[in-house]
């Protein structure tokens, strides 16, 4: 008997779940609200310019290899990868001592020399830091990421405890990094990746020091065609496995019970399947698609969570080149605590922002017309902030001034295409709670078994995938969440079908 499943939402978690379940012989339909698949990894195309609207850093290539390897293929069957050199460039805004502009790449000796130039002994400290990070990555991936551990009792496993002991699981990144480096800029260089996890140095567990292994050792790559090429690859793989995709098809309600689930589309059509897996925002699914009796969490739960930042994004098609930017560039104020406060403690538009500039045309000629460049700026801001036209216009000016002052890149007279995207756009386009760009931040109480589960405990037959669940935020993590969610479905149904 062929089982069937409806996957609600075509983000990376949904596309991944669909591939695993189709491979297991299920009849799979993905229904996506928007015209495009890929979820937050959407694309903006205008007048010959092409922008990845969401993710732009291809990190953890090992996870993509493992994913495609499961289906007997490899990433390069679908897209070419360029190793970026440098991995990224950093401009420091302040008057602090040490170089104001640095390039980071995978060369440990060069990076040690760079760290030493800021602080005596920091070169050797960097080497130790990186070794810990690599060990954390290996243990973390094996025991906490690839292995799904939904319950605390799963951690009462000698092997896990023994391995977790050295990880400083309960400390914060701030505390961990302070053991290695004094210089604020060095601390920033090993902590900026926390933004990928939607957290700050003071609210992210030290476990995530593993991100330095990710960005220094595993490297930063660019898939030819951008992250959109990775979306296309998953869709093509799914098609080969028999997945059906329906776009422009918002789901309005999920009802039923295991074996007899119903996904009710906004146009009134009802899709009847054995199971439903939701990749739509967990909060949206629970609060807006389920009847009250079928919800696991009450309003207090959603209000008391720490949401990851939203973002102010400015997509620019520009005449001429983008010297002195690299493909990935970070611009950081010396004191960035105020920016984190403005996100997590006292929500406000940051006066002196830390931000990211993405210039894919540095690597890929196809993203901009001849003689032009594609650029987007991303400023992390508090979820739920008011983002009306007036503040957006004001912030655009602040940002363009800031880029000019601190990188030397004067854009104003050269912009030929311009579009912005902000809090209310995340909410409207993706049904994102609080307009968060990423969902739940990886704070200590929102990590591992404390993230919402893959199985609904209130509605048997409903499952969840994507960034809200385990293992968490980011494209690689969402690919893995697809595997975990599919395993949960297969496990439950194999008991019934046995």
Ligand X SMILES: Cc1cc2nc3c(=O)[nH]c(=O)nc-3n(C[C@H](O)[C@H](O)[C@H](O)COP(=O)(O)OP(=O)(O)OC[C@H]3O[C@@H](n4cnc5c(N)ncnc54)[C@H](O)[C@@H]3O)c2cc1C
Residues contributing to the site for ligand X (CB under 6 A) = 8-14, 31-34, 39-41, 54-57, 59, 250-251, 279-280, 284, 311, 378, 430-431, 437-438, 466-467, 473-476, 478
- Read out DSSP for 432-464? -GGG-SSSB---GGGSGGGSPPSB-SSSTTEEE
Closer by beta carbon to ligand X, 114 or else 234: 234
Alpha carbons 338 and 30: distance in angstroms, whole number: 42
**What six digits make up the tokens of 377?**
């700026």
- Tell the smallest beta-carbon distance from residue 203 to ligand X (Å): 18
How far from chain centre, in Å, is Cα 132? 23
Closer by beta carbon to ligand X, 241 or else 311: 311
For residue 91, give the nearest of 364, 294, 320, 334 by alpha carbon: 334
Peptide bond into 206 cis (omega under 30): no
- Tell the smallest beta-carbon distance from residue 55 to ligand X (Å): 3
Closer by beta carbon to ligand X, 164 or else 251: 251
- Tell the smallest beta-carbon distance from residue 343 to ligand X (Å): 14
Alpha carbons 371 and 153: distance in angstroms, whole number: 59
- Tell the smallest beta-carbon distance from residue 356 to ligand X (Å): 9
The single residue listed with the structure tokens 């739920």 is 384
Closer by beta carbon to ligand X, 186 or else 479: 479
For residue 423, give the nearest of 482, 349, 344 by alpha carbon: 349
- Tell the smallest beta-carbon distance from residue 246 to ligand X (Å): 9
- Tell the smallest beta-carbon distance from residue 22 to ligand X (Å): 17
Backbone angles phi, psi at 222, to 5 degrees: -125, 120
3-class secondary structure per residue, 87-126? CEEEEECCCCCCCCEEEECCCHHHHHHHHHHHCCCHHHHH
Closer by beta carbon to ligand X, 12 or else 181: 12
- Tell the smallest beta-carbon distance from residue 218 to ligand X (Å): 12
- Tell the smallest beta-carbon distance from residue 492 to ligand X (Å): 21
E strands present in 127-180: none
Closer by beta carbon to ligand X, 252 or else 393: 252
- Tell the smallest beta-carbon distance from residue 440 to ligand X (Å): 11
List beta partners, residue 27. Answer: 4
Closer by beta carbon to ligand X, 118 or else 426: 426
Closer by beta carbon to ligand X, 114 or else 367: 367
In the sheet with 462-464, reading across from the earlier edge strand, the strands are 244-246, 27-31, 4-8, 275-278, 462-464
Closer by beta carbon to ligand X, 117 or else 244: 244
Alpha carbons 26 and 274: distance in angstroms, whole number: 10
Q: What share of the chain is helix, strand, coil (3-state, %, to 5)?
A: 45, 20, 35
- Say which DSSP state 308 is in: P
**What six digits make up the tokens of 13?**
């978690």
């Amino acid at each position: 008997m062929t089982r069937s499943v409806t996957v609600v939402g075509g983000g990376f978690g949904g596309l991944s779940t669909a591939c695993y379940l189709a491979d297991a012989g299920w009849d799979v339909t993905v229904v996506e609200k928007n015209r495009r698949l890929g979820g937050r990894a959407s694309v903006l195309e205008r007048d010959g310019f092409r922008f990845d609207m969401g993710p732009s850093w291809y990190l953890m290539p090992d996870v993509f290899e493992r994913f495609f390897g499961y289906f007997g293929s490899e990433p390069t069957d679908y897209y070419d990868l360029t190793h970026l050199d440098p991995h990224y460039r950093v401009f420091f805004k302040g008057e602090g001592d040490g170089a104001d502009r640095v390039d980071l790449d995978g060369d440990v000796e060069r990076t040690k020399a760079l760290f030493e130039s800021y602080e005596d002994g920091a070169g050797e400290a960097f080497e130790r830091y990186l070794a810990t990070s690599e060990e954390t990555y290996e243990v973390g991936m094996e025991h906490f990421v690839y292995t799904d551990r939904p319950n605390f009792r799963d951690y009462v496993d000698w092997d896990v405890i023994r391995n977790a002991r050295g990880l400083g699981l309960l400390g914060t990144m701030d505390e961990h990094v302070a053991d290695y480096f004094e210089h604020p800029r060095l601390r920033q260089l090993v902590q900026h990746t926390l933004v990928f996890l939607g957290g700050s140095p003071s609210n992210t567990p030290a476990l995530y020091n593993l991100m330095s292994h990710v960005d220094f050792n595993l490297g930063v790559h660019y898939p030819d065609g951008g992250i959109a090429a990775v979306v296309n690859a998953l869709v093509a793989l799914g098609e080969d496995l028999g997945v059906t995709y329906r776009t422009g098809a918002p789901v309005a309600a999920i009802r039923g019970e295991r074996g007899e689930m119903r996904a009710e589309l906004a146009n009134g059509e009802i899709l009847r399947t054995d199971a439903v897996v939701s990749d739509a925002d967990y909060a949206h699914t629970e609060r807006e698609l389920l009847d009250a009796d079928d919800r696991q969490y009450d309003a207090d739960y959603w209000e008391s969570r720490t949401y990851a930042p939203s973002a102010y994004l400015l997509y620019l098609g520009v005449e001429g080149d983008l010297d002195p930017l690299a493909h990935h560039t970070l611009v950081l104020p010396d004191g960035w605590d105020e920016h984190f406060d403005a996100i997590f403690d006292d929500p406000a538009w940051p006066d002196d922002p830390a931000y990211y500039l993405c210039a894919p045309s540095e690597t890929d000629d196809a993203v901009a017309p001849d003689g032009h460049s594609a650029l987007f700026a991303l400023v992390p801001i508090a979820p739920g902030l008011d983002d009306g036209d007036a503040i957006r216009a004001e912030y655009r000016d602040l940002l363009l001034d800031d880029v000019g002052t601190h990188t030397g890149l004067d854009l104003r007279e050269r912009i030929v295409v311009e579009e912005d995207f902000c809090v209310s756009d995340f909410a409207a386009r993706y049904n994102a709670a609080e307009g968060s760009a990423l969902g739940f931040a990886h704070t200590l109480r929102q990590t591992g078994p404390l993230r919402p589960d893959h199985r609904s405990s209130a509605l048997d037959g409903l499952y969840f995938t994507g960034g809200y669940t385990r293992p968490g935020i980011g494209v690689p993590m969402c690919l893995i969440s697809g595997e975990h969610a599919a395993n949960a479905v297969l496990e439950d149904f194999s008991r019934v079908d046995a």
